[in-house]
Amino acid sequence: MRLSQAFLPVLKETPSGAEIASHKLMLQAGLIRQTAAGIYAWLPLGIRVLKKIEQIVREEQDRIGQEMLMPTIQPADLWRESGRYDAYGPEMLRITDRHDREMLYGPTNEDMITALFRDDVKSYRELPRMLYHIQWKFRDEVRPRFGVMRGREFLMKDAYSFDLDEEGAKLSYYRQLLAYLRTFRRMGIKAVPMQADSGPIGGKLSHEFLVLAPNGESEVFYDAAVEDVDLDRDGLSYDDDAGLKALFDEVTGAYARTDETHEEEYWAQVPEDAKRTGRGIEVGHIFYFGPKYSEAMGLKVSGSDGSMITPMMGSYGVGVSRLVGAIIEASHDENGIIWPEAVAPWNVGIVTMRADDDATVAAAESLYGDLQAAGLDVLYDDRDERGGVKLGGMDLMGLPWQVIIGPRGLKDGVVEVKNRATGEREQLTVQDTLAKLSS
Ligand code: 5CA
């Protein structure tokens, strides 16, 4: 992408009204714009990151489930069937259509998936199943704040599991636990699973995944051992029931709680040198709630002996749009965002220090073509702007690599390659730059 042709509006001043770094940086670097309280438009820079995060979530979910897509607007009657319509309260955005039918903008999808599954699945042979979708949700939060972190409209991946018994349902839960840990690791962040309350979703077994960041909403207390859990032990696969159970036992064996579930009595048993405290942002939440929805909504399948079985269910959410803010919160400095490679909007930014120097422009143009041919996503700042302004913009947008090209370096046959995360700079020939960045 050439910056001269792009819609990448960068704000010169720090935006007012944003309280935390990620919100400020998302506005300043031009990822989002607010269109109403807690509702945001995703600008080109923001959507590139959102889609990268979404794709990582999708690829990891595809290993254990199947994607589908349920609508944002739901009939109120579905929620009456599950008994949640009145209980959900003012967080639900209730809508009436032209025929006076009561509708709502979905805050989650347990009720709808249970009805869809019920209408098509009749036999034990069709279980277990894991289904997921990635769809916008609406929750009329009293205090939307911190930008996309607590929005009213937000993108969520929600998965739902159906099993014949509790043992099977727990295995589904363990599979998601592993999938979540691998998903967050791929994004270049550390998300610690912590024992949680299940709130309005219901159920007994529940874990939240928290990204550690100084501005997180929750206070966290955990045993450092939970960070050392090996996710790839003996090539751990999703079919390895015993391995999954062992992983779950190890993860949940180490104390890890938020302020909502913290208990001094157990905390005191954690070795002093392993105690970790701080703040965290909840980027995922998984629940096992057994027959809660299947029972209420009459989902039953026939068993092998003709008996009727009520499937045991769980649901598994990832805050896809919240992750954009959470990753920035965990990875930025005073100059701007520092994207982990896997979610970066572009891998490399090229900056020409002098747009009026023919040799500089020629070198930048050819490197731009070559890096793209090597399969990299490249943002080329070809504008007729001061070099310093362009460099500031690149730091703010946080691309992992910058290639800075100017007449002085070119005289010696080199360009400057800067690593955004470490700040390290190297003088390399154009050929070596290409080799380094495409390796
Ligand atoms: N039905 C279940 C799981 S599928 C559910 O809704 N879980 S949840 O309420 O915990 O939401 C799942 C994830 O969505 C949360 O972990 C959080 O990362 C994200 N999320 C929830 N509310 C918001 C919000 N207002 N703004 C942004 N992200 C949110």
Flag whether pLDDT at 291 surpasses 70. yes
255 and 404 fall within a common domain: no
Please name the residue whose Cα sits nearest to atom 10 of ligand 1.
285
Q: Which amino acid is at 45?
A: L
Interval 117-166: pLDDT, tens: 999 999 999 999 999 999 999 999 999 999 999 999 999 999 999 999 99
The answer, yes or no, to whether residue 16 has pLDDT greater than 70, is: yes
Which of ligand 1's atoms lies nearest the C-alpha of 287?
A: 3
Q: What is the pLDDT of residues 75-94, one digit of tens each?
A: 999 999 999 999 999 999 99
Point out the domain boundary residue: 337, 362, 381. 337
Residue 317 beta carbon below 6 angstroms from any ligand 1 atom: yes
Q: Is pLDDT above 80 for 198? A: no
Mutate to test the pocket of ligand 1, among 110, 285, 293, 321 (most ligand atoms within 8 A of CB): 285
Report the atom number in ligand 1 closest to the C-alpha of 283.
18
Q: What CATH number does residue 393 fall under? A: 3.40.50.800
Dihedral sign computed on CA atoms, order 404, 2, 391, 212: negative
Average pLDDT, the chain: 96
Q: Which atom of ligand 1 is nearest to the CA of 139?
A: 25
Scored b (16 or more CB within 10 A) or e, 389-412 reads ebbebbbbbbbbbbbbbbeebbee
- Listed residues 293, 315, 337: the one ending a domain: 337
- Residues 291-308, mean pLDDT to the nearest whole number: 97
Q: Which of 337, 369, 395 is the last residue of a domain?
A: 337
Query: Rounded distance, CA 40 to CA 148, Å?
Result: 8
pLDDT at 201 over 90: no
- Are 389 and 240 in a shared domain? no
What is the token pair recorded at 22?
């990620």
> Is 316 near ligand 1, meaning CB less than 6 Å away?
yes
Which residue owns the Cα nearest ligand 1 atom 6?
108
Q: Are residues 294 and 353 in the same domain?
A: no
Looking at residue 153, its pLDDT comes to: 98
Q: What is the mean pLDDT of residues 227-245?
A: 94
Kindly state whether residues 89 and 205 are assigned to the same domain.
yes
The rounded Å distance from CA 232 to ligand 1 centre is 27
What is the DSSP annotation of 326-343? HHHHHSEETTEE---GGG
Q: What confidence tens digit (pLDDT) does each residue in 365-415 have?
A: 999 999 999 999 999 999 999 999 999 999 999 999 999 999 999 999 999
State pLDDT tens for residues 300-315.
999 999 999 999 999 9
Same domain flag for 375 and 231: no
Report the domain count for the chain: 2
Do both 257 and 368 map to the same domain? no
329 and 353 assigned to the same domain:
no
Token look-up 């043992």 returns 167
* Domain range for 278: 3-337
| Tokens encoding 83 | 């008994």
